[in-house]
Chain A
Amino acid sequence: MKLPKDASEALSGHWLKWLLVAFIDIALLYVITLMYAQGETAFAMVILVLGSIGTWVFTSEKCYSFRYIYPSLLGVIMFVVFPLIYTVNIAFTNYSSTNLLTQDRVKQVHLQKTYTSGAEKFGFKLYQSGDNYQLQLINKNDKSQSFATDAFQFTDVTQTLTADLQQSEEQPEGQKLPLKKVIKLRNSLKAISVQTPEGNSLVMTSLREFGAMAPLYREGSDGELISNKDGSILKPDFEQGYYVDQNGETVSPGFTVYIGWDNFTRVLTDPGIQGPFLTIFIWTLVYAGLSVLFTLVVGLLLACLVQWEPLKESGIYRVFLILPYAVPAFISILIFRGLFNQNFGEINMVLNALFGIQPEWFTNEFLAKTMILIVNSWLGYPYMMILCMGLLKAIPEDLYEASAIDGANPLHNLRHITVPMIIKPLTPLLIASFAFNFNNFVMINLLTNGGPNLIDATTPAGATDILVSYTFRIAFGSTGQDFGLASAIAGLIFLLVGLIAWANMKATRSLQEH
């Protein structure tokens, strides 16, 4: 076995490697412990597993090849595989804007709730001198009794001040602030609690008053919460993900719990979701299919023309024809959104001048769908043209010679030579294009945002929504964000995409066999 020329250098490099691995592992272990301690078991596990595999790969001689692959695999596992698995996991929970927190956090929220307990009420005055403030509290029932706090400054965090009994004629330093300024400071004032000499804790109860506050709930046995106000009992309900009182009423906020297949059954049986889901699913297929068809037809036609030898200046056309592909899609789609605008859009102006019509591109269902297909064909044909140009070059010239001798016209050539020659290598690419359009979220979200809206839907759904944009609106729309339901639909889309991917693999394999 040959030794590297500079053995000592190699040795020190080895030593450095171990140090680096040890350092990274210690840092990771710290993060893992931290995450585990805060209850993020899933994250801690993922990092633990990936970290250990990484350590093994980079220290064992057996895995030499994997040292090169591991970094890229890490990217794929952490940012493709893990999010996919995590989505499926969320699909089985009721995670939504109403059930956002863990049960532990919700319990804390309830325990932090307070209510005005005592009858004692204090009017307050706020004095300012420079950066320092002072509060004066005057008992409403006994005006002669008043307290003043020490000088303090407003901070963002909650602070507790102590107040001392005042002599009647004593006044705090500085300027008394008018109500307008007090209103401006109200959020900072709310964070303040004042401790009186008797041991009462006072907080701001209204813009003019401080009053005694007590926590609304205390912890009972069995995870129950007992109200200090009226003695009623809240019990956590792990079926619904809410605390429930004796009458069975839920108390917000809710917490996240696993609810089994509920989200999936909702998609398949709830008429307010199932109806729009089917409509949207069919439109998604139509949209993706027609997009592929139109771009292919236009692209193939243009590719044939541009590659046609008698046309000498075709290079110029080629640059212009590729332009829609070169401009970033988010810009072109938004340009079209403006051009198609019903009142100010340039397209309607042209149509109005020529035919006297002003189509409602965004409110009429059929026109909105037409518009989307027009824009998508405009955006997508250059890709097909580029692909077809490459494939057309590979067709032997003498085939066309022979057909010309037989007196065939261009249409015959297209049908009997060009299409049969390119369809086989094109199939996997067409499937990939179908898959791309199937999930072409940017197009729908930027152009119509799914509108016009469907009427009979309980979740936000539009006539031009495709499955992914529908999912997006359920999860991140302006009304009732339902992450669980969105993930369930995403899970169903996974199956469809998997199906398309499988078809693509088959088409590619059959191509490679030839």
Chain B
Amino acid sequence: MAMVQPRNLKYRVWAARLFLIAFVCMIMFPFLMIISVSLRSGNFATGSLIPENISLEHWALALGFNWTSADGTIIEPTFPVLSWLWNSVKVSVVTSSLILLLSTTGAYAFARFRFRFKQGLLESMMVLQMFPAVLALVAFYTIFDKLGNFIPWLGLNTHGALVLSYLGGVTMNIWLIKGYFESIDNALEESAAIDGATPWQAFRHILLPLSVPILAVVFILSFIGVIGEYPVASVLLQDVDKLTLAVGSKQYLNPQNYLWGDFAAAAVLTGLPITVIFLTAQRYLVSGLTSGGVKG
């Protein structure tokens, strides 16, 4: 607590408080609006923020049920939102597990071993990380088009290809895990080595059990990253059934077929779990992000 306080502190606190409340209201406006829109009937309905007549039409459609409207016509769900969500979760879980597998051993070597090219490798991986996949979309498209001729489940329009194309994104994770490994004292591993443990055994039985928290953070980080990935998925996936959420959601706001209400329900339904995961893990993620970034 500061010792010297200005005289008009009370007014300043209130000014700050009012400003923050106004700002939070502004930030929350889109979210509240989208919830409100999802509860209106029809796709062009307008109204106040708190809807007068609550209709579950869009929610039923988003969950994959038919909806009988007031005049008796039956509306069928336009898009398979739940299978999009399932596709996204499937791709993200598989990708994150593989990325974890690839980056953990790499981080161990970078943290504990001395070898040639170590610094050079780390730095060049860092530079390469700045080239986003969106720049190489043509190459991705062609590569998987050709690969599909030899291995059908890795061709265009498959989830296998999508998972594979994400495996290049290991650098940030290696940095995070490496930083954590370096913060663990290696006395335990050294004593194990004296007892005859190979480096692999020391890694597997000593370091790995100690690093579960950072592994969880990396998993969640890459999970969120993959779920939100749009460019590569939009090029590699084509069938409506195979799309991920990020690619599919766009279909709702097609100018020729504008489904604002349906989109609202789908957005709340799918955005909420991801947001909750993020907020729960937020504390760890934030420290990971900032430490990784500052060291970067």
Contacts and interface: CB of A to CB of B under 8 A. Distances in A.
Contact of A330 (B16, B44, B246): B246
B212 interface: no
Nearest to A344: B44
Contacts of B230: 330, 441-442, 445-446
Contacts of A79: 133, 164-168
Interface string A318-331: 01111111111111
A65 interface: yes
B258 A387 contact: no
Most buried by A among B17, B106, B134, B231: B134
Contacts of B46: 344, 346, 349
A368 to B, nearest CB: 15
B23 A69 contact: no
Given A335-B34, A505-B123, A69 B109 contact: yes
Interface residues of A, number: 102
Contacts of B250: 330, 334, 446
B139 interface: yes
A212 interface: no
Given A65-B115, A472-B137, A486-B138, A331 B231 contact: no
Contact of B131 (A69, A74, A80, A90): A80
Contact of B260 (A38, A78, A302, A338): A338
B3 A322 contact: no
A74 B167 CA distance: 9
Interface in B90-116: 99, 101-103, 105-106, 108-110, 113-115
Nearest to B3: A401
A405 interface: yes
B216 interface: no
Contacts of A65: 109, 113-115
A328 B135 contact: no
A285 interface: no
A101 to B, nearest CB: 12
Contacts of A274: none
Nearest to A375: B30
Contact of B290 (A308, A317, A390): A390
Given A334-B249, A400-B2, A76 B125 contact: yes
Contacts of A75: 99, 102, 167-170
A292 to B, nearest CB: 14
Interface residues of B, number: 103
Interface in B207-255: 224, 227-228, 230-231, 234-235, 245-246, 249-250, 252-253
Interface stretch (B56-64, B71-79, B183-191, B270-278): B270-278
A72 B113 contact: no
B278 A326 contact: yes
> SS class of chain A's interface: helix, strand, loop or mixed?
helix
A40 B144 CA distance: 13
A43 B146 contact: yes
B221 to A, nearest CB: 13
Interface string A23-66: 00000000100110010100100000000000000000000111
A405 B4 contact: yes
Nearest to B24: A320
Given A322-B282, A490-B138, A497-B131, A334 B267 contact: yes
Interface string B269-296: 0110011001100100010011001101
B80 to A, nearest CB: 17
Interface string A479-514: 000010011001001100110110011001000000
B2 A331 contact: no
Interface in B159-190: 164-171, 174
B121 interface: yes
B293 A72 contact: no
A71 B102 contact: yes
B282 A84 contact: no
Contact of A472 (B129, B196, B231): B231
Interface in B1-55: 1-4, 6, 9, 12-13, 16-17, 19-20, 23-24, 27-28, 30-31, 33-34, 37, 44, 46
A439 B136 CA distance: 12
Interface stretch (A121-129, A147-155, A428-436): A428-436
A130 interface: no
- Going nearest first, the 8 A-B pairs with the smallest beta carbon separation are A79-B168, A68-B109, A72-B106, A83-B136, A86-B139, A80-B168, A83-B139, A65-B115
26 contacts: A31-B150, A35-B150, A43-B143, A68-B106, A68-B109, A68-B113, A72-B105, A75-B167, A75-B168, A83-B140, A84-B135, A302-B23, A311-B13, A326-B278, A327-B275, A331-B270, A378-B30, A397-B2, A425-B294, A432-B293, A439-B132, A441-B132, A483-B141, A487-B139, A501-B127, A505-B123
Given A80-B129, A330-B230, A476-B141, 9 more contacts: A31-B150, A71-B106, A86-B143, A310-B9, A323-B31, A346-B33, A404-B6, A425-B294, A445-B231
Interface of B: 1-4, 6, 9, 12-13, 16-17, 19-20, 23-24, 27-28, 30-31, 33-34, 37, 44, 46, 99, 101-103, 105-106, 108-110, 113-115, 121, 123, 125-143, 146-147, 149-150, 164-171, 174, 196, 198-199, 224, 227-228, 230-231, 234-235, 245-246, 249-250, 252-253, 258, 260, 263-264, 267, 270-271, 274-275, 278-279, 282, 286, 289-290, 293-294, 296
